Each structure stands twice: as structure tokens, then as C-alpha cells.
Structure 1
Amino acid sequence: MSAYLRHFADTFTTLNADCLDKLGELYSNNVQFRDPLHQLNGLPALRSYFENLYSNVEDIRYELLDVDETAPGQGYLRWNLHFRHPRLSRGQPISLQGCSHLRWATHVYLHHDYFDAGALIYEHVPVLGAVIGWIKGRLA
């Protein structure tokens, strides 16, 4: 594994609202970021995304499960996200498993996150969560 990917993984898991200036150490100015809920272009948009994320959740942290460099300048992070949101799951802790695909030269210029958006949000919304749980039970 490259030293850069290890540095990225170690730094990313320590990000919080007080150290978002570290994003410039990790990402290129023209970074493309995508997850199931967002598509962003550029470091300013990514910083705004993280500012909003950290201001709306409590006790957020990433638990790194695996780091894999598949080719020079390309790799994956597998992670668990742990957080609490006052309007989801009655403020109880939520965990979500996901994966990030990264491409980099000197900094990450492509970051795609893959996770179950339903497990992140919809299953924890009152009423809607119960309906989704019922549907999953019927399909099992």
C-alpha cells in the first residue's frame, strides 16, 4: 500500500468540525465527490458538504475496516460510519457500512462513496422506518 493512501486513511478517520482545513491536504482543488445522495465538484463544495455534515450530527466517527490499493493511484477504503442525529432513530446511535473508491495523483481527485442510503436515513425516520422494516420482513 502506498504511503499516500495510508496517510489519507489515517487523516480522514480523524476529521471533525475543528480540522476541516486538512481537506486541502487530502483532496485536489478540482475533486469530484459522489455518494448515493450527493454529487459535488471542487474542494470548496466538498468543504461545505463536510461543514454541514459535522454541524448536523453528533458523535460522528469513521471506523476503518480495510484499505486496499488496487493499482498505482487507485484504491478502496472499507469503513463503518457511527453517528447520532437528533431527528433520526430518536437520537440513538446509528452505524452504516460503506466503501470509498479513490483515485489520486498527488491528492485525491475522485472520491466515490458506496453505501445503502436507506440504512443511512430512511430506515431511521419515524413511520417511514416502520414501513421499510415491514417491507423487508415480507421480502425475507
Structure 2
Amino acid sequence: MNEAALDRIVAFFESFSSRDLPLLGEFYDDDASFKDPFSEVRGLAPIRRIYAHMFEALHEPRFVVTSRMGQGNECWLAWEFRFRFRSWRPETPQVVRGASHLTLGADGRIRVHRDYWDAAEEVYEKLPLIGALMRWLKRQAAA
């Protein structure tokens, strides 16, 4: 793993803001793929739209990388995603914990980005109505 490329990617994600959207091509390959619990897309323009939506829908979103590992052209980043909802309890800080598996090209840009996190626990359980259902389902599964 090119340690300089990993340092660059981590620094980008930890300081990422809406004004950095035009810079995504410096970090993602033009034909990169991205997948998380809500989306699966290929190409720089759809990836840019996902991040643009994040900045529109959430207040003060930011990533904090808590650990990282790299080998060959692959790396794992464990992170906390911190934000506040704009339309529901905007005064309450939220944290989603997850990990990203990244595959880099020879130029150090991201070719494959896959996020792993539990949407049920980290988002749905916090929402009114659906949250009560999700917590009930969780209790039933654990019984």
C-alpha cells in the first residue's frame, strides 16, 4: 500500500466539505464504483451526486477516521460519521460507525469504494415510528 496515497485519502475524507465536490476526480477514478446500504453506483458523476445529497440532507456532516489498514492496492478505514439531521431533531448530534473497503488504482485514486455499516441500528432505530418497529424486531430476534 502506498502510504502517501492512504494519507492523502484519509486527509481528504476528514476535511471533506461541499466545496470539495469538484475535487472528487483527484481521489476517485472516472469509472469508480461506490456501494453503501442505500446506493450502488458506477462513475464519478453518480458518486458526486451521492455526496452532494449528503451535504444537502445533513447538517455539518464529517468523517473521523479511527483506524486504517493497507496492503497492496487495498485499504480499510474504520470511521465515525458525525452529523445532525436538518429536518428531524436538528439539535441532536448523530454518529454512525462503519468501515470502508477501498481498492486503489496504480495512480492512487479510488477504483472501488464499499461502505459497511448497519443502517437499521445507526439510522432507522433513531427515527420516530420506524425506530420503534426496528427496536421491537431487534428484541424479537434476540429472544
Provide TM-score, normalisation by structure 1: 0.91
Distance in 2, matches of 1:120 and 1:44, equals: 27
- Distance apart, 1:101 and its partner CA: 0.2
Distance in 2, matches of 1:120 and 1:17, equals: 23
Distance in 1, matches of 2:136 and 2:18, equals: 36
User: What does residue 67 of structure 2 align with?
Assistant: 66
* Stretch of structure 1 that moved more, 76-85 or 1-10: 1-10
List alignment gaps of at least 5 residues for structure 1: none
List alignment gaps of at least 5 residues for structure 2: none
- Distance apart, 1:62 and its partner CA: 0.7
C-alpha RMSD of the superposition: 1.5
Three-state SS of the structure 1 residue aligned to 2:16 is coil
User: What does residue 12 of structure 2 align with?
Assistant: 11
Q: What are the residue-to-residue correspondences of 1:91-102 with 2, within 5 Å?
A: 91=90, 92-102=92-102
User: What does residue 83 of structure 1 align with?
Assistant: 83
User: What does residue 130 of structure 1 align with?
Assistant: 132
- Distance apart, 1:121 and its partner CA: 2.6
User: What does residue 115 of structure 1 align with?
Assistant: 117
Three-state SS of the structure 2 residue aligned to 1:9 is helix
Provide TM-score, normalisation by structure 2: 0.89
Are the equivalent residues in 2 in contact too, given 1:79–1:97 (CA < 8 A)? yes
Three-state SS of the structure 2 residue aligned to 1:126 is coil
Percent of aligned positions that are identical: 28
